[in-house]
Structure 1
Amino acid sequence: MTGRIPSLPPESLGEDQRALYDAITGGPRAQGPQHFALTREDGSLRGPFNALLLSPALGSALQSVGAAIRYEGTLSARAREIAILLVAAEWDSAFERESHEAVGAAAGLTIEELRALRDGTTSLFTGEEGVVARVVSQLARGDLDDETWNEATAALGAQTVFELTTLVGYYATLALQLRVFGVED
């Protein structure tokens, strides 16, 4: 049991669940260096991914959005991890913090920067990373004011602002699901 729902090891999955499991464990998240484990010893998925198996059609769409954000977006790896970690801080999402601090460190975030992000502090970041941090901080708490919108579109472009709004919504959704389903690992 992982919180409120059971772990779903691969041998217990139906056909649609197995297709989603294979997309997660065989897709871009599983390629290259692994900064956090996707599966437990029994093969069941960790974090939000186990819950995605409850509704394979919706879970597939959601995991595809996440893969696009992480592997097909325009943000630099550092800027993307700054954004994800700010959402994790705002939603107090332990799994997202643990997994993305490891990814963030691999992307070049320092211990000092990771500590600041844990606290939701953005003052260490400048340039485009500072703009990303300000945009995400505002979005995580509500809406984007006109001043920040103008700064963001001038520095990043509307496409990247769209990407950031999608990132905030996606990681806030995962944080909510992790909390509701009582997922701790």
Structure 2
Amino acid sequence: MSWCTGSTRFPPLSPSNNNLDAAQLVQYEFLINTTKKIYGDTIITEGADGSLQGPFNQLLYTPTIVQSWTAQQLGAAGLLTSKENEAAVLGILSFNRATYGLYAHTLLAQKAGFTLEQVLSMLAGRCATGLSTRESAIYNLAAKLAQMRGPLDQASYNAAFAVLGHDGVEATIQQAAAFSYSAMMLNAGDVCVPQGAGC
């Protein structure tokens, strides 16, 4: 699953490492509480030294955007059901292959209701069997958005619109864009699967 090099481009920040400034500490506490509330024990979001995992440690290097970034992510996720959100995320991951994202959303997509076989199929770029019409449309649109190098082609838009309508298409675009933001951070930071989950 992993293509990460294991380099530490953004060294871990945590109270135990004594390397947080005042602004970072406020946002660290915010992220610790938020990630625990959202993810519980489903995925690893905190290291043994108390440092945040995934995109969250990296975010602390720009503390002024932590809460607006979080609000954007949660706002986009609130536009679709949890299973539909994961369909969009898996569509994005099928192309950008962010290592921590692959780890986290393999688990989160199963928690949302997909089987492991469906998840692996979608990560391989194939719309899995057994998806609802909406889930398939969302996955296909998100996968297409991940590949865009210009305007979305009309046939792809029409296929998504026929199932999702304006609201569903825009909700999918928002979720795909929000997760693409996270995935870009993960890939730029070369963020691996956390210790204890295998890399």
TM-score (norm 1): 0.87
Aligned mate of 2:122, from 96, 117, 121: 117
Report the alpha carbon displacement of residue 163 of structure 1 after superposing the two structures with TM: 2.3
- Structure 2: which 5+ residue stretches go unaligned? 1-5, 195-199
Q: Is 1:31 equivalent to 2:37 in the alignment?
A: yes
Q: Is the 8 A contact 1:5 1:181 kept in 2?
A: yes
How well do the aligned residues superpose, as a CA RMSD in angstroms? Answer: 2.0
Change (3 A) 1:133 1:5: same
Report the alpha carbon displacement of residue 80 of structure 1 after superposing the two structures with TM: 0.9
Q: Is 1:44 equivalent to 2:51 in the alignment?
A: yes
Give, in whole Å, the separation in 1 of the partners of 2:113 and 2:132.
Answer: 15
* Number of the residue aligned with 1:13: 20
Measured against aligned partners, the alpha-carbon deviations of 1:128-158 in whole angstroms (never above 9, x if no partner) come to 0111011111111114322332333342232
Report the alpha carbon displacement of residue 82 of structure 1 after superposing the two structures with TM: 1.5
* Number of the residue aligned with 2:8: 3
1:144-159 to structure 2, matched below 5 A, reads 144-159=152-167
Aligned mate of 2:174, from 138, 145, 166: 166
Aligned mate of 2:143, from 116, 120, 137: 137
Give, in whole Å, the separation in 1 of the partners of 2:21 and 2:171.
Answer: 33
- Structure 1: which 5+ residue stretches go unaligned? none
1:92-131 to structure 2, matched below 5 A, reads 92-124=97-129, 125-131=131-137
Aligned mate of 1:79, from 72, 77, 84: 84
In terms of mean alpha carbon deviation, does 82-91 or 168-177 score higher?
Answer: 168-177
Equivalent residue letter for 2:104 = S
* Number of the residue aligned with 2:197: none
Q: Is the 8 A contact 2:99 2:191 kept in 1?
A: no
Report the alpha carbon displacement of residue 89 of structure 1 after superposing the two structures with TM: 2.0
Change (3 A) 1:16 1:163: farther
Where do 4+ consecutive residues of structure 1 move more than 3 Å?
A: none
Percent of residue pairs bearing the same amino acid type: 23
Equivalent residue letter for 2:37 = Q
* Number of the residue aligned with 1:56: 63
